[in-house]
């Protein structure tokens, strides 16, 4: 099961925490400059249960999948599957997820346009 040790805030493999719970477990000051973090922190969770965010290690790289499906409300409600044997701080896990969601190469203007589209409920309904 995905567990967060309250002292060290270390995440260990399995499932049980949603992205929203992970966001609530980190120090928000560590993500102050992230528009995506702020958006996810404020968004109302929706369905999510059918989508599972997958996190695994591939060599020295953390791989995150299933974060580009559905609306932000769906994604924030999604459970996180961390590969067995993978141990990382909650802030490291969230950084990896946010990095994958933001494509790690968007400019601030690109990111703003992207999230405007993702949070537009009419467009989200069309995608579904």
Domain ranges across the chain: 3-127
Per-residue pLDDT of the chain (128 residues; tens, 9 = 90+): 344 444 435 566 665 788 999 999 999 999 988 888 999 999 888 875 677 889 998 888 889 988 877 788 888 888 898 888 888 889 999 999 998 887 765 666 777 777 777 777 666 565 55
Residue 85 structure tokens: 């044997």
Q: Return the pLDDT at 109.
A: 75
Tokens standing for residue 58 = 């591939």
pLDDT value at residue 20: 92
How far apart CA 1 and CA 108 sit, in angstroms, is: 35
**pLDDT given for residue 29 in this prediction:** 92
| Residues 6 or more apart whose Cβ sits within 8 Å of residue 108 | 35
């Amino acid at each position: 099961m995905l567990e967060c040790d309250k002292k060290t805030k270390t995440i260990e493999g399995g499932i049980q925490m949603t992205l929203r719970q992970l966001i609530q477990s980190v120090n928000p000051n560590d993500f102050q400059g992230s528009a995506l973090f702020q958006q996810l922190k404020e968004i109302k969770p929706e369905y999510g249960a059918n989508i599972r965010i997958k996190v695994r290690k591939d060599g020295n790289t953390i791989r995150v999948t299933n974060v580009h499906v559905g609306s932000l409300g769906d994604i924030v409600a999604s459970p996180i599957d961390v590969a067995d044997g993978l141990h990382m701080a909650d802030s490291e896990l969230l950084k990896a997820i946010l990095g994958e969601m933001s494509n790690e190469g968007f400019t601030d203007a690109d990111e703003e346009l992207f999230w405007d589209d993702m949070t537009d409920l009419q467009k989200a309904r069309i995608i579904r």
